A and B are shown apart, each in its own frame.
Chain A
Amino acid sequence: MFKRPKRCVVTLLCLVLCLTLGISAALAAEQAKTVKLGWIGSLTGDQAVWGQCELNTVKMLAEELNDAGGLLGAKIEVIGYDTRGDAMEAVNCVRRLTGQDKVVCIIGPNASGQAIPISSILEEMKVPDIATVATNPKVTVVDGKTKPFNFRVCFIDPYQGAVAAGFAFDVLGLRKAAVLYDVADDYSQGLTEFFVKTFTEKGGTVVAKEAFKFGDTDFRPQLSKIKAANPDLIFMPYFFKEVALSSNQARELGIKCTLMGGDGWPSEVLIEMAKEAIEGSYVVNHLDFDDPDVMDFKARYIKKYNRQVELNGFLAHDAFLMFVDAVKRANSFDPVAIKNALETTNVKGITGTIRIDKDTHNPEGKEAAIIKIVDGNYIFQQKYAP
């Protein structure tokens, strides 16, 4: 007795959907010779800071490219969808981008938790995706099998964790480390795992490993405990809001040791809020902020949007570069041809030379930049590979 109303509702729903989407599709069809590039990520929700910056970057670059004559004679149209940080929504977005909008390639998302579940859709529709900051190794390789349509432009958690641990042990000569991490965050857990592994393998000791949960703003209970363990270094692998709060609180509690973090740190807002607390800290980063190419991109972005560039912007920039390069080499907008070209990418981006490994779909040999915070500025120290 319920079959009918349900079917009825389904038809009704389809009708509504058809109408709305039909109109937008009709509008889009008017412009001839445009090629669609998809983007997904968080425009709303907890991670909106990073997502909005990525979409802005991709849109700006596409505009610049179109003004300069386009790509292979076609204009690039960027279609960005919000996932609000939700895996299921990411799947829907990719279904819409590949099925309805017929994009040739997708940039994003900005988290591993969304990059992993979309892979089956990508494979079904045969459209490549270049993840910006999805650092979990399993985004591109699961159980030894490479996912054919997933690529990434950033380095992975094991690498970053190892760089931080190696630099702290070998270069800074520190032996006692403490870790404070976000137990509910995949990125933070990943970095912690590999930092601890490398640091202890090298012969150092991790004297305290304390956790907080995403959404916390007070870290003094954990920091008091860390203080009692008296470490030489506190590794803080999480994002800049929590970094600002926890570093300030650490100094308030009289902790004087060196702080160190990963690519979640770099941001102007961090300096603004915790200038004194993070003075002398080290950051593992993707790029050197004083590089002329980086400065140029930053200036363009700030001019257009009147906002600071977050780190994701730089990676989105390079993902876009990878896409353009692949299209040029494939000399076609066929998604599979783009995917094949992406596998042999070797292009110089602003985050370093991106050479995609055919077997892992990760950029190989990308050196990390070690940055020290001096007088409220991110000062490049050296390139470092473990």
Chain B
Amino acid sequence: MTQFLQQMINGLSIGSVYALMAVGYSLVYSIMNFSNFAHGGVIMLGAYFGFYFLAVFKWPFAFAFFGAALGSTVLAVLLERVAYKPLRMRNAPFLYFIISAMGASILIENFVIATIGPTFKTYPQVLSREPFQIAALFIGRLDTMIFITSAVCLALLVYFIDFTKVGKAIRATAFNARVSALMGINTDMIIILVFAVGGFLAGVAGVLFGMKYTVYPQIGAVTIKSFIAAVFGGLGSLPGAVIGSVILGLLETLISGYFSSQFRDLISFSLLIIILVLRPIGLMGKPSEEKA
């Protein structure tokens, strides 16, 4: 029983990291209908920003944290301007966006390897590694912080999208970009805004990831799991992305804990595919035809 509860805690904490990353995919997807594979690269750079602000420039933690988030916000917008806007202007199909995104992610990863170097970097210890102990259960301080930060960020995001005027414009654009433009919404600004929000969350995710694990150029590869979670939850749906992430985290943990860690991904992928076959639009997806 203790082991089961401990595994549930492990799963939740893995899932909350996936969730922060998955939301970025879903946000961009809801507006632009393509999976932004360069998102992992932005998260990685966010983690490096945080590391430099904290360990090299010795900023206080809160400053470093926001600095990193702002840095990756700028980067995400820049990425959109350089790699996607020219494609948007030509109404290119989503395939081209994906390839452009892949090119960008190769570029970002290897740029970091070539400049900063391939060795991983360690964040200075901000929180004690000593876990909380409740009976025989161990809960990491960082895990708790990540869980809370994720929850706060996601709640703010939901508030922003659902209850503000700008959020309404974003939802309108997601629903039908052309009509929204006719209604006087500046869709170009909306897209910048969406990338900015996605980039901000990527920065938060990057710093948290770096604090919890470490910083290295291949962080982007981890985000493939969060992408899977986003699709599973229903691409374009924010609550879907969160729920999908938590489910994937729990699923992985329980499979390694109770079946076979050797075949973990095989079993979890098969389960996901089975669920998708039964419910083809993802858990919370909108049943609409592809726009691209």
A254 CB-CB contact with B under 8 Å: yes
Given contact pairs A210-B261, A215-B218, A241-B214, A221 touches B252 in the complex (Cβ within 8 A): yes
Q: Which residues of B contact A220 (CB under 8 A)?
A: 10, 13-14, 253
A79 CB-CB contact with B under 8 Å: no
Q: Is the CB of B138 within 8 A of A253?
A: yes
Q: Which residues of B contact A276 (CB under 8 A)?
A: 129
B214's partner among A213, A221, A245 (CB-CB below 8 A) is: A245
Q: Which residues of A contact B173 (CB under 8 A)?
A: none
Complex alpha-carbon distance, A307 and B188, angstroms = 45
Q: Which residues of B contact A210 (CB under 8 A)?
A: 256, 261
A40 CB-CB contact with B under 8 Å: no
Minimum CB–CB distance for A188 against chain B, Å: 12
Q: Is the CB of B122 within 8 A of A221?
A: no
Complex alpha-carbon distance, A225 and B256, angstroms = 8
Q: Is the CB of B113 within 8 A of A48?
A: yes
Q: Is the CB of A241 within 8 A of B120?
A: yes
B280 CB-CB contact with A under 8 Å: no
Minimum CB–CB distance for B118 against chain A, Å: 4
Q: Is the CB of A211 within 8 A of B257?
A: no
B3 CB-CB contact with A under 8 Å: yes
Q: Is the CB of A251 within 8 A of B129?
A: yes
Q: Is the CB of A224 within 8 A of B261?
A: no
Encode A206-227 as 1/0 by CB contact (under 8 A) with B. Answer: 0000111101011011101101
Residue on A nearest B114 in the bound complex, by CB: A44
A123 CB-CB contact with B under 8 Å: no
Complex alpha-carbon distance, A145 and B221, angstroms = 39
Q: Is the CB of B253 within 8 A of A228?
A: no
Q: Is the CB of B119 within 8 A of A269?
A: yes
Q: Which residues of A contact B14 (CB under 8 A)?
A: 218, 220
B270 CB-CB contact with A under 8 Å: no
How many residues on A have C-beta within 8 angstroms of the other chain's C-beta atoms? 34
A86 CB-CB contact with B under 8 Å: no
B46 CB-CB contact with A under 8 Å: no
Q: Is the CB of A218 within 8 A of B118?
A: no
Q: Is the CB of A44 within 8 A of B110?
A: yes
B131 CB-CB contact with A under 8 Å: yes
A140 CB-CB contact with B under 8 Å: no
Given contact pairs A210-B261, A241-B216, A221 touches B119 in the complex (Cβ within 8 A): no
Q: Is the CB of A213 within 8 A of B264?
A: yes
B122's partner among A215, A225, A273 (CB-CB below 8 A) is: A273
Complex alpha-carbon distance, A252 and B130, angstroms = 7
B150 CB-CB contact with A under 8 Å: no
B262 CB-CB contact with A under 8 Å: yes
Encode B201-220 as 1/0 by CB contact (under 8 A) with A. Answer: 00000000100011011100
Q: Which residues of A contact B11 (CB under 8 A)?
A: 221
Q: Which residues of A contact B253 (CB under 8 A)?
A: 220-221
Complex alpha-carbon distance, A212 and B131, angstroms = 23
Complex alpha-carbon distance, A374 and B262, angstroms = 33
Q: Is the CB of B261 within 8 A of A222?
A: yes
Complex alpha-carbon distance, A366 and B118, angstroms = 30
How many residues on B have C-beta within 8 angstroms of the other chain's C-beta atoms? 37
Minimum CB–CB distance for A180 against chain B, Å: 9
B145 CB-CB contact with A under 8 Å: no
A49 CB-CB contact with B under 8 Å: yes
Q: Is the CB of B261 within 8 A of A211?
A: yes
Given contact pairs A215-B218, A221-B256, A228 touches B10 in the complex (Cβ within 8 A): no
Q: Is the CB of A52 within 8 A of B118?
A: yes
Q: Is the CB of B6 within 8 A of A217?
A: no
Q: Is the CB of B138 within 8 A of A252?
A: yes
Complex alpha-carbon distance, A22 and B252, angstroms = 53
Q: Which residues of A contact B118 (CB under 8 A)?
A: 48-49, 52
Residue on A nearest B14 in the bound complex, by CB: A218
Minimum CB–CB distance for B107 against chain A, Å: 12
Residue on B nearest A268 in the bound complex, by CB: B119
Q: Is the CB of B214 within 8 A of A215?
A: no
A299 CB-CB contact with B under 8 Å: no
B162 CB-CB contact with A under 8 Å: no
Given contact pairs A44-B113, A211-B262, A228-B3, A272 touches B140 in the complex (Cβ within 8 A): no
Q: Which residues of B contact A293 (CB under 8 A)?
A: none
Complex alpha-carbon distance, A215 and B109, angstroms = 14
Minimum CB–CB distance for B133 against chain A, Å: 8
Given contact pairs A44-B113, A52-B118, A248-B129, A221 touches B257 in the complex (Cβ within 8 A): yes
Minimum CB–CB distance for A333 against chain B, Å: 33
Residue on A nearest B260 in the bound complex, by CB: A211
Given contact pairs A215-B222, A252-B138, A49 touches B256 in the complex (Cβ within 8 A): no
Residue on A nearest B130 in the bound complex, by CB: A252
Complex alpha-carbon distance, A215 and B6, angstroms = 23
A46 CB-CB contact with B under 8 Å: yes
Residue on B nearest A228 in the bound complex, by CB: B3
A15 CB-CB contact with B under 8 Å: no
Complex alpha-carbon distance, A212 and B256, angstroms = 9
Q: Which residues of A contact B3 (CB under 8 A)?
A: 224-225, 227-228
Encode A44-65 as 1/0 by CB contact (under 8 A) with B. Answer: 1110110010000000000000
Given contact pairs A44-B110, A183-B262, A269-B120, A225 touches B257 in the complex (Cβ within 8 A): yes
Minimum CB–CB distance for A345 against chain B, Å: 31
Encode B223-264 as 1/0 by CB contact (under 8 A) with A. Answer: 000000000000000000000000000001110110001101
B7 CB-CB contact with A under 8 Å: yes
Q: Which of B113, B114, B118, B262 has the most CB of A within 10 A?
A: B118
From 175 to 217 in chain A, residues with beta carbon under 8 angstroms from any chain B beta carbon are 183, 210-213, 215, 217
Instruction: Give me 15 A-to-B residue pairs in the complex whose CB atoms sit less than 8 angstroms apart, sorted by A's number.
Output: A44-B110, A210-B256, A215-B221, A217-B214, A217-B222, A218-B13, A221-B261, A222-B257, A224-B7, A241-B120, A253-B6, A253-B138, A269-B119, A273-B120, A307-B117
Interface residues of chain A, those whose CB is within 8 Å of chain B, are 44-46, 48-49, 52, 183, 210-213, 215, 217-218, 220-222, 224-225, 227-228, 241, 244-245, 248, 251-254, 269, 272-273, 276, 307
Known: A49-B118, A49-B119. 7 other contacts (CB 8 A): A44-B113, A48-B118, A48-B217, A213-B264, A215-B218, A253-B138, A254-B133
Please name the 4 residue pairs, one residue from A and one from B, whose CB atoms are nearest each other, closest first: A48-B118, A221-B256, A220-B10, A221-B253
